[in-house]
């Protein structure tokens, strides 16, 4: 008896189903579904490689790739409103901002660009403005963290040899801020209510390979009241020479690298960036975007709004125009 050349019906059905399934994976609907699932699963690289990802999804993926989850960020802003001793900056530095790296800052910038590109006529505009405010607030806090944490560990040191209950490396940033702004850096005291340190500039300017700009190393000495093992008294900070005003200003740094004097210094973040003006731009942008997005409904929104507005008023004063002294005091009072 001859075998039938016709495949069994069950096999034909399975083949057809497989073909249909493969075809379905290539449809726009399938692509959008897979991209959404990848975003929900925090598979950010897959979202960034997706041919059908929307601008909002790409911006969200960059925010996630920077290390931030929107729900967690919202919760930390809510937590900061009830921080013990009004130390809300301590909440941000300890529970929100971890280790800052150049790729992390790059992803925040890309997220910012994506959300900011959503037009006002879009149905997604208000959502994009709300999320944009979170990106900018996080970046403002991240540049504080990275300049404090010049060793790049992501965790602020327990060293407090001057006994003011603030990490000494944060004291060093406050000192650098109040010491900046002159055309000719000189050794000078930095005076705060609980302690007085000394800022000593290096004798000559330095440059960094692959970076633009001229810089000056600054050694901040913290006074010693206690002497825990392995706690230094001196901290290296970096000033950049602003060619427009010919003054030396605190700059954004990430980690450490070797300068032209063959010493290791805090490493400039890309091109010379003014720490103070960058912080001002981000906190202003965060408040503006949030004001645009919120309609005044929802307790969570109002709590987040208050926390972000508090960052600006606490760091920049009632006129919300930041000065180096005000930002230095913000670190002293709120960390």
Name the E strands within 138-193. Answer: 188-191
Domain boundaries, the chain: 10-53, 168-276
SS3 assignment, position 280: helix
Cα separation values, 71 from 57, 131, 187, 301, Å: 16, 11, 46, 12
Bridge partners, 262 (sequence order): none
Q: For residue range 272-296, what is the model confidence (pLDDT) as tens digits?
A: 589 999 999 999 999 999 999 986 5
pTM value surpassing 0.75: yes
Residue 218 vs residues 162, 180, 299: alpha-carbon distances, Å:
19, 10, 45
Q: Provide the percentage of residues in the chain whose pLDDT is more than 70.
A: 90
Average pLDDT of the segment spanning 87-92:
92
Mean local confidence (pLDDT), 302-322: 92
**How many CB atoms within 10 Å of residue 1?**
3
Measure the CA–CA gap between 152 and 160, rounded to whole angstroms.
Answer: 18
Average pLDDT, the chain: 89
pLDDT, tens digit, 9 for 90 and up, residues 150-201: 888 999 999 999 999 999 999 999 999 999 999 999 999 999 989 999 999 9
């Amino acid at each position: 008896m001859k075998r039938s050349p016709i495949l069994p019906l069950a096999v034909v059905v399975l083949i057809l189903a497989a073909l249909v399934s493969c075809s379905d994976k290539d449809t726009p609907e399938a692509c959008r579904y897979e991209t959404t699932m990848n975003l929900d699963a925090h598979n950010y690289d897959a979202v960034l490689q997706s041919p059908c990802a929307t601008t909002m999804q790409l911006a969200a993926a960059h925010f996630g790739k920077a290390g931030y989850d929107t729900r967690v960020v919202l919760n930390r802003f809510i937590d900061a409103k009830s921080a013990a001793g009004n130390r809300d900056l301590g909440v941000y530095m300890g529970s929100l901002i971890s280790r800052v790296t150049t790729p992390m800052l790059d992803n925040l910038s890309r997220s910012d660009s994506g959300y900011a590109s959503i037009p006002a006529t879009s149905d997604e505009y208000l959502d994009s403005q709300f999320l944009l405010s979170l990106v900018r607030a996080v970046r403002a806090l991240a540049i504080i963290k990275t300049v404090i944490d010049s060793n790049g560990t992501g965790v602020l040191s327990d060293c407090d040899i001057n006994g003011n209950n603030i990490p000494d490396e944060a004291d060093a940033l406050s000192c650098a801020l109040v010491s900046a702004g002159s055309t000719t850096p000189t050794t000078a005291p930095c005076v705060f209510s609980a302690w007085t340190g000394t800022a000593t500039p290096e004798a000559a300017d330095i440059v960094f390979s692959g970076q633009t700009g001229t810089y000056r190393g600054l050694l901040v000495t913290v006074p010693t009241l206690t002497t825990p093992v392995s706690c230094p008294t001196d901290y290296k900070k970096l000033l950049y020479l602003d060619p427009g005003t010919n003054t030396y200003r605190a700059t954004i740094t990430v980690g450490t690298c070797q300068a032209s004097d063959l010493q290791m210094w805090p490493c400039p973040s890309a091109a010379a960036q003014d720490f103070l003006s960058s912080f001002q731009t981000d906190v202003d942008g965060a408040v503006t975007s949030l004001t645009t997005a919120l309609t005044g409904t929802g307790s969570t929104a109002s709590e987040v709004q208050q926390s972000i507005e508090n960052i600006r008023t606490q760091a920049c004063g009632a006129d919300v125009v930041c000065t180096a002294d005000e930002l230095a005091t913000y670190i002293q009072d709120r960390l």
